Amino acid sequence: MVDMHSARADIGVIGGSGFYSFLEDVTEVTVMTPYGSPSDSLFVGELAGRKVAFLPRHGRGHHLPPHRINYRANLWALRSLGVRQVLAPCAVGGLQPQYGPGTLVVPDQLVDRTKARAQSYFDGEMLPDGRVPNVVHTSFADPYCPTGRAVAVAVARGHGWEPVVDGGTMVVIEGPRFSTRAESRWHAAQGWTVVGMTGHPEAVLARELELCYTSMALVTDLDAGAETGEGVSHDEVMRVFGENVGRLREVLFAAVTALPETKERGCLCADVHKGWDLGIELP
């Protein structure tokens, strides 16, 4: 295990341990942040000439529930290694019957229904070194990077994934419990597409750090209100995710190689704070 100064990457992937096992010359990197420790070490390796940092969102062994993940430390740690573009695969429930298990959704909108998560670097909290970031109101009308989204959709379709949904709304709940039928039916009635537990505050923290963030959401079940029966189970989610993890990894790796070079980023993600005095220097 090495420290953060010994490894660099420009693309980050927040996902499970199965995603980094095929990288070349993987280095395990320890990163400490002003917000504490990230979910786990970061694993840095090379994929088709691109330097990639993988971070297990829930930690190795999946021991961190969604509401206990240190999202601020995770995104800060990735940027500290040089990461400027993030791909975020996740498992979600489908809210519309046409988007059943196996559907890949690349959302373009997000609804936050979490309750108790630190979701900003600019909340007036003093850092350990005594600095206090200024109040900053970050533009978040379009939560996801348009370039990253276009790459993810094109690559998935190019690899024969069916169906791939270009756009849609992810509603993020606190968890770790699944939704009641009433909650699920309400989510569906709003026209929202999928429901998950980790997409927020990941997306907004990435935006605050001027990172390009793209969600790749694999539907593993129809949420409780969208089907009959006993509702969603953890075993069902893990089974469907396991059945699809191989092709998700293939598409994810192809997306990594198709992303533009960091210096070629032309999206608004790269300079969202232009003109603002942050009061702190980003890593």
Residue 221 among the catalytic residues? yes
Binding-site residues for phosphate, in ranges, read 17, 57-58, 198
CA-to-CA distance for 198 and 216, rounded, in angstroms? 12
Contact call for residues 16 and 59 (beta carbons, < 8 A): no
Residue 112 among the catalytic residues? no
Catalytic residue among 40, 108, 112, 223: 223
Catalytic residue among 40, 108, 112, 221: 221
CA-to-CA distance for 133 and 126, rounded, in angstroms? 7
Binding-site residues for substrate, in ranges, read 197, 221-223
Q: Pick the closest to residue 89 from 63, 57, 111 (CA basis).
A: 57
Q: Which SS3 state, helix, strand or coil, does residue 77 take? A: helix
Q: Which SS3 state, helix, strand or coil, does residue 231 take? A: coil
Contact call for residues 52 and 255 (beta carbons, < 8 A): no
Geometric angle at alpha carbon 135, from 134 and 140, rounded to 5° = 125
Residues with a known catalytic role: 221, 223
